[in-house]
A and B are shown apart, each in its own frame.
Chain A
C-alpha cells in the first residue's frame, strides 16, 4: 500500500495536519493499515520535496496543515486512473512453496495443501465474522476492504482445491518409465516439470 498516494488522496478533501491525516487514513481503511505518526511526517516531507504538497502557516495549536499543489492533484488523478499491476505486488510465497514442495523429496504435498487450505478457510471464516459485525451504512468503506480480503482468500481456497485435484491425478515422473506412455491426466502435472 502506498502511504504516499493515501495521504495525497486525503488532502484532496482539504488541508490537514499530521495527526488529522493519520486518523483520516485509519478511518477510511477501517484501521486495517495502522500508520505511525513518524511515517506520516516522513511522507509529508517527501511529498513537499517533490512539490506535491505545500505547508500552510501553523494554526493556534501549533499544528501545521498541508495542502495539495496542482502537481499533487494531477498525481492523485493519475493514481486513481491507473490499474495496479500484479507485477508490482510481492511474489506469491505460497505458489513458490508448493512448487518447491512438489520437487523436494520426502515432502507430502497434499498435506502442505490441506494445511494451507484449513488456515486460509479459517481466515475466511474470521473475515466473514468481522463483516457480520459491521452492518451500519457508514461502515461501507470498511466492508469493501473486508470484501477484498474475503475474495482474495476465496481465490486462494479455490486454487488450493485445484492443486489438490491435480495432485490426485499426478504421477511423479519415474526415471525408468519409457517415454510415450504418458497418460492424459499428466498434462496438468507437465507444467511442474
Chain B
C-alpha cells in the first residue's frame, strides 16, 4: 500500500462555525493504481489531496505514505518524504518564470541535496518522458500552455516518486492536450507509481482504475472497472 487514509477527519474551525471538510474517510491506493476523486465544490476533494501529500494534517485518523504515518514524522522528516516520494501536479502550474524547463524540473532534486549535474540529468530524462526532451533550455513564457503543463508533470514525476497527486491537472487545457496529460499520468502509474487524481470531470476520472465520489466529506460511492470492456460493443443496431 503506497497511500493509506484511515478514518480521516478534517475539521476547520471550532464550535458552531466548524466546517467538517472530511468526516471519516478510508482510502488505500496500491502501486500501479490510479484513483480518481470526484465530487462537487466543497465536498472535500482538495482537502483529501492535501492530507495525502502531507500539506495538511488530519483532525482525527491517520495518513500513511509508504507505510510511514505522516503524523509521527517531525517537520524535517516530513519535508524529506514529500520531496523524495510525492509528486504534485496542480491546476496552477507553479513553474518559476526565471528558471528554464530543465531547471524547474531539477529544482526539487537539487533542494534535496542531489548534485546539480545528476539532478539535471534526471530532469532531462523526465522531460523526455513527457516528450519535451528538446525544450529543456526554454523558459516557461517561451512555451505553450500545454507544454508548461507537461513541464509541471515532469517535475512531479522526476526521480523515483512513488506517489503522484494531481489536482485538476487538465485545468485550462483543451480536450486533446488534457487527454495527453492524463495519458502521461496513466503511463507513470502503469509503470508502478500510485496516483490520486482530483477532478470534477467524469471524462477525466474515467482514466482511473477506481473512482471515489465524495459528498460533504463522506465517500458516497465507488466505481471500479470490469476486467474486459468489450461487452460494451456488439449490441446490434
Residues of A with Cβ closer than 8 Å to B? Answer: 1, 3, 30-35, 114, 117-119, 121-130, 132, 149-151, 153-154, 157-158, 161, 164-165, 168
Q: Which residues of A contact B209 (CB under 8 A)?
A: 125
A-B contacts, 15 listed (Cβ < 8 Å): A3-B237, A30-B233, A31-B234, A114-B213, A118-B222, A121-B206, A122-B223, A124-B202, A124-B203, A125-B207, A125-B209, A126-B225, A129-B225, A130-B232, A132-B186
CA distance A121 to B236 in the complex (A): 23
A17 to chain B, nearest CB (A): 21
Write the nearest CB–CB distance from B161 to chain A, whole angstroms: 22
Q: CB distance A125 to B40 under 8 Å?
A: no
Tell me the bound Cα distance from A14 to B94 in angstroms: 56
A114, B220: Cβ atoms closer than 8 Å: yes
From A3, A32, A153, B202 is in contact (CB under 8 Å) with A153
Answer whether A121 and B223 are a contact pair too, CB < 8 Å, given A31-B233, A132-B186: yes
Q: Is B115 part of the contact surface with A, judged by Cβ < 8 Å?
A: no
A126 to B225, CA, bound (A): 6
Q: Do A150 and B206 touch (CB < 8 A)?
A: yes
Name the distance in Å between A154's Cβ and chain B's nearest Cβ.
Answer: 4
Known pairs A122-B226, A129-B225; A32 contacts B233 (CB<8 A): yes
Assess the A33–B183 pair: CB atoms within 8 A.
Answer: no
Complex: how many Å from CA A56 to CA B237? 28
Interface check B224, CB cutoff 8 A = yes
Chain B residues whose CB sits within 8 angstroms of the CB of A118 once the complex forms: 221-223
SS class, residues of chain A in contact with chain B: helix
User: What's the nearest-Cβ distance from chain A to residue B104, in Å?
Assistant: 28
Give, as a whole number of angstroms, the nearest-CB distance from B34 to chain A: 10
Q: Is the interface on chain B under 10, 10 to 19, 20 to 34, or 35 or more residues?
A: 20 to 34
Determine the residue in chain A with the shortest Cβ distance to B228: A126
> Does A117 contact B40, Cβ atoms closer than 8 Å?
no
Contact A33-B236, Cβ < 8 Å, known A124-B202, A165-B40: yes
Instruction: Pick the contact of A128: B207, B221, B222, B236 (CB < 8 A).
Output: B207
Asked if residues B203 and A154 are in contact (CB atoms below 8 Å), the reply is yes
The yes or no answer to B208 lying at the interface (CB within 8 A) is: yes
**Residue of A whose beta carbon sits closest to that of B229:** A126
Given contacts A32-B233, A125-B211, contact A150 B221 (CB under 8 A): no
- The minimal Cβ–Cβ distance linking B172 to chain A, given in whole angstroms, is 18
Residue of A nearest to B233 (CB): A32
Contacts of B223 in A (CB 8 A): 117-119, 121-122, 125
Chain A neighbourhood of B166, CB < 8 A = none
- B232 near A127 with CB under 8 A, answer yes
Chain A CB within 8 A of B123 CB? no
B56 within 8 A of A: no
A154 CA to B207 CA, complexed, in Å: 12
Query: Which of B40, B208, B225, B233 has the most chain A CB atoms inside 10 A of its CB?
Result: B233
